[in-house]
């Protein structure tokens, strides 16, 4: 076990104004950017938190065998970290893209299964390649050419004709209801676009899809030609990276649905599997209080996976103003209470906008305190403390805001809640326990 910094370490998180003191040692900031299991970076996801942050809270606030629940699981960072650490990880998200990524990580195939399936897909494509190539060329010339396949013009122009033919084949062949195909689909989503040779299209960065109109204009202006990238070769290389660490063996459950009843659904799913029904730790990052459209900013991945990006944005709660946001979180917290153990702890990592264009942001600032006062306290929670984490503050989101970046200061605030005095004491005393950062952990090495 590596010792944590001395108490009073200069890095110790600042405390929320007026909130009880809770000295959380932010050791995750000292870890390499990609610290953790090789499946964490399967696919880029906006506003995901680092695996090291999840690790620190899972280690300090739960024990092996405990249930760790994330009702807004995104790409599955918290539940994957939980199962890597021998806990039962439960992730829930209303976004089908997030659910796919979480499920792929919590119920992965073996490496042999994934490789066998990838080879079978490669051979099946080769057998029908001329037909798929004809279809790809026709769609690239006229995206509305085919009556069976409708492809947005921006999708067709993003890829080399061979890559596009392979993607059309993969899209038609993968069955997302089976774990091995879901894993392969998630892996392909992870390499769909980006600027290095690992990716299938170089039209866009890896983090998010540029606006479709911008993409069309850019492609026209620069006479864009995507390089010839073999989807099966890149998939093999991606599988090698994903299976660098053995898949965790502990059970994980991925749920698709609204966070407002995620606690009840999680307990039911756990009971059905004869597992402990209540979570000792809820570790989550609720949606941002600013417009963050997961469908729109992932339209190319959504196309490949067969999801409707507009429908995703219409269903999610990522664009609320403050008052409805607080009502929303109050409902989420009400549902979570009975799903927590007697001494359970809920850590909410809340994206706050500290200042916007140099002025304190009217809507965002002090959001964590407002969540405590308007959503958690009225539901009978106790406050162990609030802390600021201004270092990791979602860089990707700041990047997305383009010209606004640098003007809007981001800060993540951690609201640590409990439902009993025993939980509050546990939250305070375990906040600065030393964390074992050895990688890979013994639990994985012994597999």
Ligand X SMILES: C[S@@+](CC[C@H](N)C(=O)[O-])C[C@H]1O[C@@H](n2cnc3c(N)ncnc32)[C@H](O)[C@@H]1O
Q: Contacting ligand X (CB under 6 A), which of 28, 61, 72, 169?
A: 72
Q: Residue 174 to residues 119, 184, 211: CA-CA distances in angstroms?
A: 13, 8, 27
Euclidean distance between CA atoms 19 and 166, whole angstroms: 55
Site stretch for ligand X (CB under 6 A), options 147-155, 273-281, 312-320, 333-341: 312-320
Residue 287 is a binding residue for ligand X (CB under 6 A): yes
Q: Is 317 in the site for ligand X (CB under 6 A)?
A: yes
Site membership for ligand X, residue 412 (CB under 6 A): no
By CB under 6 A, tell whether 282 contacts ligand X: no
By beta-carbon proximity to ligand X, the closer residue of 73 and 166 is: 73
Choices 74-82, 216-224, 270-278, 356-364; region in contact with ligand X by CB under 6 A:
74-82
- The residue (of 233 and 327) whose beta carbon lies closer to ligand X is 327
Q: Of 31, 44, 62, 77, which one interacts with ligand X (CB under 6 A)? A: 77
Is 434 buried (19+), middle (13-18) or exposed (0-12) by CB count in 10 A? middle
Nearest CB to ligand X, comparing residues 49 and 183: 49
Residue 185 in the binding site for ligand X (CB under 6 A): no
Q: Is 75 in the site for ligand X (CB under 6 A)?
A: yes
Nearer to ligand X, 100 or 361 (CB): 100
Find the shortest distance in angstroms from Cβ 148 to ligand X.
Answer: 31
Is residue 69 within 8 A of residue 281, CB to CB? The reply is yes
281 binds ligand X (CB under 6 A): no
Closest approach of Cβ 145 to ligand X, in Å? 34
Residue among 62 and 163 whose Cβ is closer to ligand X: 62
State which residue has the least CB distance to ligand X. 74
Cis preceding-peptide flag for 338 (omega within 30 of 0):
no
List Cβ neighbours of 141 (8 Å cut-off, separation of 6 or more): none
Q: Min. distance of Cβ 75 from ligand X in angstroms? A: 4
> Least CB distance from residue 209 to ligand X, whole Å?
16
Site for ligand X in 209-268 (CB under 6 A): 258-259
Q: Phi-psi category of 342—alpha, beta or left, where left has phi over 0 and alpha has psi -120 to 50?
A: alpha
Binding mask 93-132 for ligand X (x = CB under 6 A): xxx--x----------------------------------
Most distant pair of Cα atoms in the chain: their distance: 68
| Structure-token pair, residue 364 | 């965002």
Q: Cβ of residue 131: shortest distance to ligand X, in angstroms?
A: 37
Window 12 to 51, contacts with ligand X (CB under 6 A): 45, 47-49
Position among 294, 325, 372, 381 found at the interface with ligand X (CB under 6 A): 294
Q: How many residues bind ligand X (CB under 6 A)?
A: 21
Query: Considering the complex, what minimum distance in angstroms separates the CB of residue 94 from ligand X?
Result: 4
Nearest approach in angstroms of CB 317 to ligand X is 4
- Where along the sequence are the contacts to ligand X (CB under 6 A)? 45, 47-49, 72-75, 77, 93-95, 98, 258-259, 285, 287, 294, 316-318
């Amino acid at each position: 076990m590596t010792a944590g910094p001395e108490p009073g370490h200069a890095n110790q998180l600042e405390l929320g104004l007026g909130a009880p003191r809770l000295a959380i040692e932010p050791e995750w900031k000292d870890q390499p950017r990609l610290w953790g299991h090789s499946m964490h970076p399967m696919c880029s996801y906006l506003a995901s938190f680092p695996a090291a942050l999840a690790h620190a809270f899972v280690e300090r606030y739960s024990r092996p065998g405990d249930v760790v629940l994330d009702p807004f699981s995104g790409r599955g960072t918290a539940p994957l970290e939980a199962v890597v650490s021998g806990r039962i990880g439960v992730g829930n998200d209303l976004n089908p893209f997030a659910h796919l990524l979480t499920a792929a990580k919590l119920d992965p195939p073996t490496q042999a299964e994934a490789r066998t399936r990838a080879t079978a897909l490669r051979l099946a494509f080769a057998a029908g390649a001329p037909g798929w190539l004809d279809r790809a060329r026709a769609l690239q010339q006229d995206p509305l050419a085919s009556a069976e396949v409708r492809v947005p013009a921006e999708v067709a122009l993003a890829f080399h004709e061979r890559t596009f033919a392979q993607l059309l084949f993969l899209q038609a062949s993968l069955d997302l209801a089976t774990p091995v195909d879901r894993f392969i689909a998630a892996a392909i989503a992870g390499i769909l676009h980006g600027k290095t040779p690992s990716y299938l299209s170089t039209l866009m960065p890896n983090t998010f899809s540029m606006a479709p109109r911008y993409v069309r204009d850019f492609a026209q202006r620069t006479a864009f030609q995507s390089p010839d990238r073999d989807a099966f070769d890149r998939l093999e290389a991606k599988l090698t990276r994903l299976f660098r660490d053995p898949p965790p063996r502990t059970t994980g459950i991925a749920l698709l649905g609204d966070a407002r009843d995620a606690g009840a659904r999680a307990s039911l799913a756990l009971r059905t599997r004869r597992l402990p029904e209540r979570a000792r730790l809820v570790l989550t990052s609720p949606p941002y209080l600013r417009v963050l459209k997961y469908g729109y900013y992932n339209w190319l991945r959504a196309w490949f996976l067969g999801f409707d990006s507009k429908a995703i944005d219409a269903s999610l709660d990522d664009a609320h103003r403050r008052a409805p946001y607080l009502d929303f979180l109050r409902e989420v917290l009400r549902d979570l209470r009975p799903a927590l153990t007697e001494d359970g702890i809920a850590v909410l990592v809340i994206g706050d906008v500290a200042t916007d264009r140099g002025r304190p942001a009217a809507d965002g600032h002090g959001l964590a305190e407002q969540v405590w006062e308007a959503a958690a306290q009225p539901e009978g929670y106790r406050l162990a403390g609030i802390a600021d984490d201004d270092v990791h503050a979602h860089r990707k989101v700041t990047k997305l805001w383009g010209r606004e970046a640098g003007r809007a200061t981001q800060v993540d605030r951690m609201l640590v809640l409990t439902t009993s005095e025993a939980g509050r004491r546990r939250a305070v005393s375990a906040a600065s326990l030393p964390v074992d950062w050895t990688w890979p952990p013994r639990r994985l090495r012994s597999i």
